[in-house]
Structure formats: C-alpha cells, structure tokens
Amino acid sequence: MYYAGNDTDAYRRGVGIIVSQHLTKCVTRFTPESDGVVLLIVYAKPLKLNVIQVYAPGCDKSDEEIEEFYADITKVVKLTQPHELNFIMEDFNAKVGNENMRNVCGSFGLGLRSSSGDRLVEFCQEENVQIMNTCFKLPPCRLYRWTSPQNKVNRTFSISVKKACTYPRTDIPTDHNLLLPPSQYRVDLDKLTNESSASTIATEINARLRRIETNKSPYGTKRNCS
C-alpha cells in the first residue's frame, strides 16, 4: 500500500495505491507530492508505467487550494516522459459534461460541465492528456465515483484503452464507487449472485489467505471470506 495523507484524527484527505504483491519488485519510485497527489512509477515493458493518483479539493474550497492542487499534479507530470504510459486517476470532483472536444473528452460524460470541469479541461489541454471515461458509451452508474471524477491518459496511448468505468454498490464501507482501471480482463461481478460460484471464489480466497499466513506475510492475518 503506497499512501500519502495527513496525521489528523479525521483523515479527511489522502490518496493511496494498492499494488499486487508480485508487482512490488517492479515499483521503482513513489513520490508523495501532497495529501492529494502521488506518483507511482512501475518498470514495465515495452514502456514504463507512471500512475498519478489524485484527490481534488471539493467545490467548497478556495481557488487558491484548487490551483495549488493542479500545480502539484503538474510537478509530478514533469517527472514523467511523453513517450511513457502515463495515467492520471481517481477523483477530480469535476463534471466535464457530454460535449465532445477533440483530443480532450468524448461525448459520453454526465450532465453539464461545471466550473471545476472547465478547470479540468484546461489542465488536459495544457498537459496533452485525454479524459477516457467520456469516450465509452456506458450506463450512467458506470461513469461516476462520487461527483463525476475522471480517468485520464496521455493522448498518444489513448487508443490502447478499451474501457474505463466504475463499479457501484460494492460491499465496502465507502461513499465512493470502485474504479476499474483499463485492463484486458473483464470482471463479471454478476457471478457472485450465483451461490455455487460465490462458494468456489470464497474457498479460493481463503486458501490464498492461509498460504499468506503460513508464509508470515506482512499483509495481516487470515480472514474468513465466506
């Protein structure tokens, strides 16, 4: 777990990235720029993968705080190269609407563009990135996480993204929906409604947790997922 946040009791801000154990050896750098912006660099082939995880100030915050947030993103973007695979992910607290803008956003966004959406579009134009979850026609519930965050990638590799969506109603204690990053794999959560499939998956998860406990993994003790 790569995390940056604050030490207050409320823990009202902070961003993190969970990396599979077998990929941790490929992580070459972690830069916690602020409690709202972090950069994780992964050594991958044929291109280095740079994941910038962000959490934007809400609409009730001052213009100074919002500009400081975008300045932090710009700082970590400068640590990457345009020819690398760069993803900026998470919650921008912005709505860009459904107006198509060439090389910036598609026509499948939600609602009308907000003032924070205007600032997000301006940032995308400045940094040559494209908002990917507006480029796929999906049910509205698959487009937002809380207040319409966006998932962006440098334009050079936008053709490689096949899908970007969220999964609502996930059984975890949060008011955000899980974000599914671009992947070649399809996660079929409907299978969990089948009692036999759910039992098989729970058995497999518990078996893996037992192996982790046996190997004295630092990731915690065994939990029963049935």
Q: CA-to-CA distance for 215 and 212, rounded, in angstroms?
A: 5
The DSSP code sequence of 80-138 is: S-TTSEEEEEEE-----TT--BTTTB-S---SSPPHHHHHHHHHHHHHTEEEGGGSS--
Same domain, 105 and 33: yes
Same domain for 106 and 216? Answer: no
pLDDT band at 8 (very low <50, low <70, confident <90, very high): low
Q: Which domain holds residue 218?
A: 188-226
Could you tell me if 43 and 56 lie in one domain? yes
Q: Which two tokens stand for residue 118?
A: 């205007």
- Domain CATH code at residue 71: 3.60.10.10
Average pLDDT over residues 217-224: 44
Task: Give the tens place of pLDDT for each residue, 52-94.
Answer: 999 998 878 898 999 999 999 999 999 999 889 999 987 888 8
Per the structure, how many domains does the chain have? Answer: 2
Enumerate residues 6+ apart whose C-beta is below 8 A from 56. Answer: 36, 66, 69, 91, 92, 93, 94, 116, 149
Same domain for 125 and 210, yes or no, is no
Same domain, 143 and 203: no
More confident residue, 125 or 193: 125
97-103-109 Cα angle (round to 5): 20
Structure tokens at 152: 């962006």
Please tell me which residue, 226 or 59, carries the higher pLDDT value.
59
Average pLDDT estimate for 148-170: 58
Same domain for 203 and 105? no
Same domain, 27 and 137: yes
139 neighbors 130 (Cβ within 8 angstroms): no
If you search the block for the tokens 């974000």, which residue do you land on?
179
In the prediction, which pLDDT does 226 show?
A: 43
The winner for highest mean pLDDT among 53-57, 99-103, 165-169, 184-188 is 53-57
Q: What pLDDT shows up at residue 76?
A: 95
